[in-house]
Amino acid sequence: MKATAIGHIIKPEDGGIHIQMNPTYWPGTLELDKFSHIIVLWWITGMDNDEARMHLQNYPPIEGAPLSGVFASRSPGRPTPIGMTTVKIVSIDSELHRIFIDQIDAIDGTPVVDIKPYIPFSDKVDRAKVPDWLKNNVPRYTDHPLD
Amino acid sequence: MKATAIGHIIKPEDGGIHIQMNPTYWPGTLELDKFSHIIVLWWITGMDNDEARMHLQNYPPIEGAPLSGVFASRSPGRPTPIGMTTVKIVSIDSELHRIFIDQIDAIDGTPVVDIKPYIPFSDKVDRAKVPDWLKNNVPRYTDHPLD
């Protein structure tokens, strides 16, 4: 079960965060411009070692968070060191094979292993239950922060 | 960049779809019961071959869908054959290391490589733009299908 790098996260000092796609895989972005958001799957290379991959519990860095299993947190140290971030597409440069995005919690140079379009049918949960320590955590992509 | 199987999807004939966790990784589920939904990452073993992994464009199986890149679709044939499904937790059996879920578009025996809690802050997009052919595609987890 080997992941393939289809591109890399680039974070220039002057902004303009983007995914620099490997040109081989560029045909896979056809019609991507019809979506506003994508889910980026990336490899947490800094945590790809035996010790971090067997680190199964931790304290999420939020006040009041209890000791939690990695599958109940977004901790980067996990058995399969894969990161997942929903981001907004800012623009697409077909000539340079770049997908500009608004933000991502991955460092410069991180391999991207997959991109999926954000589809409300399967990806949007309106009334997800979360633990109390996450209750004041307002969705990033909402027009109704006080709902 | 090797993915680790932390468990497998089990789909008994009489229902009761669940993730049978590898006992080694069970400690990673601590506090998972505080969340209503999880995002399951699974390996599309049937598509883990050179041909399917280089299949970069296809027609999504929805009326009116144009030829689309795999990164603009949820096609199982993709460079990194990883599936991602948001599901509802039905119940958790700590003794048998099972996480019962309501549905998943993976076949019986599929390796699960990661589980992430669904956190609205990062995972919920209220007004995602999608192509016209997906516009009538109502979110699965909504109380307001007519919004």
The answer for B 60-99 residues in CB contact with A (under 8 A) is 66-74, 78-80, 82, 84-86
Minimal Cα–Cα distance from A13 to chain B, Å? 24
Report H helices in chain A.
50-53, 120-123
pLDDT along chain B (147 residues), means of 10: 98 95 98 98 97 96 95 97 98 98 97 98 94 90 65
- Position A147 scores a pLDDT of 43
- Residue range A72-90, pLDDT digits in tens: 999 999 999 999 999 999 9
| Residue A5 near chain B (CB below 8 Å) | yes
Q: What is d(CA A19, CA B15) in angstroms, rounded to the nearest whole number?
A: 41
- Determine whether the interchain pair A126/B116 forms a contact, defined as Cβ–Cβ distance below 8 Å: no
Residues of A in contact with B50 (CB under 8 A): none
Average model confidence (pLDDT) across chain A: 95
- Position B85 scores a pLDDT of 98
Percent of chain A whose predicted confidence (pLDDT) is above 90: 90
What six digits make up the tokens of B37? 């939904």
Domains and CATH numbers, chain B: 7-134 (2.40.30.70)
- Residue range A1-53, pLDDT digits in tens: 999 999 999 999 998 999 999 999 999 999 999 999 999 999 999 999 999 99
- Position A143 scores a pLDDT of 72
Q: What is d(CA B42, CA B139) in angstroms, rounded to the nearest whole number?
A: 21
